């Protein structure tokens, strides 16, 4: 059999787990697999490890550890953010996002639309950029949340999320950004 070189070009979709991450996780998969929320020692002793992990993630993005909520995946994070905005502002029934968000977001927005929410999917220019003037004009009094991803998972285009956040702040609207493709690649400072 001849040796073949395999080149992998799908790293943004699925990334090989870094060896140091495997090393850090193995003790918890092999020995300390208890439930950290439990009352008994075998589980409860792990709560401090979860809190340590929370503090590390918070420092990574310049947030407060109390602001970090662990989820199982990006899809759950995206859905939870949109859902939370809607349930905490029941009088606001409009979601503003872009037509190029990850399908995890678009499919949830389709579902929200079927539930009777109003949805605006902003188009992008031919170079993948976003018209911020259009975005600002599209924010309505009943907009519960504006969701604009940071780095696109297919094109790599980065949206100016700081500017989008500033527009949302000036309008008093919640802003959410999906940073699945950004974390670990460029510095993130949520403040």
Residues found near ligand PLP in the complex (CB under 6 A)? 13, 73-75, 78, 102, 104, 149, 153, 178, 180-181
CB of 47 to ligand PLP, least distance (A): 25
CB of 154 to ligand PLP, least distance (A): 8
CB of 53 to ligand PLP, least distance (A): 17
In terms of CB distance, is 95 or 149 closer to ligand PLP?
A: 149
In terms of CB distance, is 99 or 170 closer to ligand PLP?
A: 99
φ/ψ of residue 40, rounded to 5 = -80, 155
CB of 104 to ligand PLP, least distance (A): 4
In terms of CB distance, is 51 or 190 closer to ligand PLP?
A: 190
In terms of CB distance, is 106 or 119 closer to ligand PLP?
A: 106
CA angle 139, 148, 185 (to 5 degrees): 155
- Of 155, 169, 167, 177, which is closest to residue 61 (Cα–Cα)? 177
Task: Give the CA-trace dihedral at 34, 36, 42, 46, to 10 degrees.
Answer: 100
- Residue listed under structure tokens 């949109």: 82
In terms of CB distance, is 46 or 178 closer to ligand PLP?
A: 178
Residue 64 token pair: 């407060």
CB of 31 to ligand PLP, least distance (A): 27
Question: What is the three-class DSSP state of 1?
Answer: coil
Give the separation between CA 102 and CA 105, rounded to whole angstroms.
6
In the chain the first and final C-alpha atoms are separated, in Å, by 56
Burial 1-31 (b: 16+ CB within 10 A, else e): eeeeeeeeeeeeeeeeeeeeeeeeeeeeeee
Report which residue's Cβ sits closest to ligand PLP.
Answer: 74
CB of 142 to ligand PLP, least distance (A): 26
In terms of CB distance, is 89 or 102 closer to ligand PLP?
A: 102
């Amino acid at each position: 059999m001849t040796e073949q070189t395999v080149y992998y070009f799908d790293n943004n979709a699925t990334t090989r787990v870094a060896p140091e991450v495997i090393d850090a996780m193995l003790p918890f998969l092999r020995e300390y697999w208890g439930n950290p929320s439990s009352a008994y020692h075998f589980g409860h002793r792990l709560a401090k490890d979860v809190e340590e992990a929370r503090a590390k993630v918070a420092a990574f993005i310049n947030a407060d550890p109390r602001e970090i909520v662990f989820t199982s995946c990006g899809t759950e994070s995206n859905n939870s953010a949109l859902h939370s905005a809607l349930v905490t502002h029941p009088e606001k029934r409009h979601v503003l996002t872009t037509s190029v968000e990850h399908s995890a977001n678009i499919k949830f927005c389709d579902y929200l639309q079927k539930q009777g929410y109003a949805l605006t999917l902003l188009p992008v220019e031919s170079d993948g950029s976003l018209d911020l003037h259009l975005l600002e004009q599209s924010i309505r009094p009943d907009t519960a949340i504006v969701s604009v991803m940071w780095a696109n998972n297919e094109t790599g285009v980065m949206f100016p999320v700081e500017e989008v956040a500033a527009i949302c702040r000036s309008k008093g609207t919640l802003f959410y950004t999906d940073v699945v493709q950004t974390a670990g690649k460029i510095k993130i400072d949520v403040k």
